[in-house]
Structure 1
């Protein structure tokens, strides 16, 4: 929620609207026409010696000036606020914006026009007319915004227009507060399939974290009511002078890395139906699904940047608020991710090879969304898979997505890329145009590393 007063000071009119000159600049076309007609009539009356015409001219010229002076001396104060609900939505979903205007002066307001500045991609600019707000009164209006394109969009500043009853003068003042609407990629619900070579999220596979691994590798904790007395660790009890017990065996959550290829040269076309947007949406769907399945997840791009990138492990936390914050951070990153100028996947390879994060090098499940690859990058992508975990690659042919017969430069065919990846142990599937990611995810669960699949070939 944001709130504020118009730029400059307390509110419109209280500080002179920025001076009399600023008020004169608020003359509308009608007001300028009245002023010009009055001056012309007065000049003609002087030349022709017509006293009645002179009085008409003076009246026409004086009316807009009187309106300017009246608005200039207006002394009421107003405050405005905006509430955005929710602040993060998926592409195509709506968010509600509620505007609130409070008259904090002792005088009723005149006619007010409220306008909020929003990017055109979110829809038409909302305008509201408030007839009269009593002293201490409040008015609330709302509107909805939506976008089919992901991104971060500023809302505001809120603008307030003051006008006279004749429509001769119109003064605009802006509030200082802004809000930001984050539109994240669309996500698909994915079936809970088991990817080849990886345990389920909560560590029921080969890796478990043991707090008790022997007399020389014990991490005791203080005794709590209800603890089994058979777990009392007497040596630590004697050392610390209080009752200590051995920790129970704790399952370690499996890790997963979602790799998104963002290279500009790897994709053709643009827009919500392009290959790149499909890859971004697929990466978002995979992240959400893996988090729901209990994995510790990180997002990695071809630039070598990982999200979350702080906090030691580089993966999302084991649960609770930290995990939700990490998920929000990854989705916010995907909301604004764009094309990189990199030529290859070497930085991602270095990040995977050197980033053990508490386990073996590059351990855990690897989900990759790859654009066009030449021979060298295909070989490098094949090496991204580590022996300790499963690896699934969704390979896109951007020429097919863009409706082109062939790429302008020679590249291995999709079948050749898939074959090389499968030979290296990947579960590799093609992502032809219009394919639902949920179907490909289901195929990845039924496929086996190194064995070709039916369906999914471009």
Structure 2
């Protein structure tokens, strides 16, 4: 934060003029120039003392209308500023803001309504400080100025933008993602059920006589439970997939993070239990129908950056294949796509911001539905969904 000089441009000019008058008075012997030089110097010194000597202290309380600010979303910041001073100065105030948000956070002090407020718009993901509040006052002659900081900073979390996505259209599991259905098929005539060994306490009605005769030990009918599978969203943030992080945000990575958030929330709205992982196996969030789950995921995604290496996807998913599987990556070549297995998922969809030649064909051979991820996230998702159902129009 750049500090302002104590003298304004007018004050610096007055000081230079005073020095010139004193030199000219000495050279020309003009007493009036001496008086003028002393007057300008004294006036500048008086202005400095007038703005610097008064003691001021104050407290600042900020309130932001939304806890999580989405990229491109606007929120209002209300600031209560209690200043303790001999007299209330008139000046200009502004809140110090990061480049990650845009706002006109300044105005005249004291404000007419007694409260300072302004609108901020999210520009870049992350957790950023807002503040401190700066109050700038100038003496009545405009020769000297004072800028003083009040209050502490407050963090604002800018989360990725979430887009509305087309319905998945293909129901995975017994009831899609809307319910965990179970069917228990017991009783006579259920010989097609897989039997298990008898456990003390099992009902004699459940004895599977054919399996008992075949294996020579008591076997009972296995209670068969059918559940709709969970959904998994994987964000591949390994360093080699993306450009090196710089001062500016990488549009490709920002699109990937935004799709990750959008896909996870969309699948959760369709009734799936959603796990969101990164390519190293770190759990970024789990959506189980609670509002806190949503906020926790968005907060985690606000801070992710490209780093590390990726693990094998099959090992990442584990032994239970998911229903929908969304894998989001950056630069993908043919060799990497050839070893990217779908882990037995019922509906695997692969999104790449930069599929290199041959990558799409190699991934398709493993059952992936591949779509290129560009600036239009909703269109990329719709392309993938349309390809899965084999038609050009997605049912709304």
TM-score range for the pair, normalised by the shorter chain length? 0.7 to 0.9
1:115-194 equivalences in 2 (<5 Å): 115-123=94-102, 126-130=105-109, 139-194=114-169
**Following TM superposition, by how much is the alpha carbon of 1:324 offset from its aligned partner in structure 2, in angstroms?**
2.2
Does the residue aligned with 1:369 lie in a helix, a strand or coil? strand
CA contact (8 A) 1:164 1:170 kept: yes
> Residue in 2 aligned with 1:391?
347
Among 303, 306, 311, the residue aligned to 1:336: 303
What are the within-5 Å matches in structure 2 for residues 64-79 of structure 1? 64-79=44-59
Q: Is 2:249 the counterpart of 1:293?
A: no
CA shift digits 1:253-301 (9 cap, x unpaired): 8532211122343357998894433332221111112232343322111
Distance of aligned partners of 1:201 and 1:64 in 2 relative to their CA distance in 1, 3 Å threshold: same
State how 1:208-287 maps to structure 2 within 5 Å: 255-267=230-242, 274-287=251-264
CA–CA separation in structure 2 for the residues paired with 1:433 and 1:264: 19
1:188–1:438 Cα contact (<8 Å) kept: no
Runs of 4+ in 1 over 6 A off after TM superposition: 268-273
Greater alpha carbon shift after TM alignment, 57-66 vs 82-91:
82-91
Change (3 A) 1:351 1:167: same
Q: 1:150 to 1:104 in 2, by over 3 A?
A: same
2:78: which partner in 1? 98
Show the counterpart of 1:429.
370
Alpha-carbon distance in structure 2 between the residues aligned to 1:58 and 1:274? 60
2:291 aligned residue: 324
Q: CA RMSD in A?
A: 3.7
Residue 37 of structure 1, aligned match among 4, 17, 20: 17
- In 2, Cα distance between the equivalents of 1:74 and 1:215? 87
Return the offset for 1:79.
Answer: 2.9
- C-alpha offsets along residues 366-396 of structure 1, whole Å, 9 cap, x if unaligned? 22224444454324321x423xx52321332
In 2, are the aligned partners of 1:258 and 1:368 still within 8 Å (CA)? yes
What is residue 205 of structure 1 aligned with on the other side? 181
1:6 maps to what in 2? none
Partner of 2:358: 412
Number of matched residues? Answer: 352
CA distance change for structure 1 residues 290 and 40 in 2, over 3 Å: closer, same or farther? same
Between the aligned partners of 2:33 and 2:375, the Cα distance in structure 1 is 74
Return the alpha-carbon distance in structure 2 between the equivalents of residues 285 and 30 of structure 1: 54
Q: 1:196, 1:445 within 8 Å by CA — same for their partners in 2?
A: no
**TM-score normalised by length of structure 2:** 0.74
Aligned-pair distance for 1:187? Answer: 1.9
| Paired position in structure 2 for 1:234 | none
Report if the CA contact (8 A) 1:148-1:272 is conserved. Answer: no
Deviates more, 1:289-298 or 1:85-94: 289-298
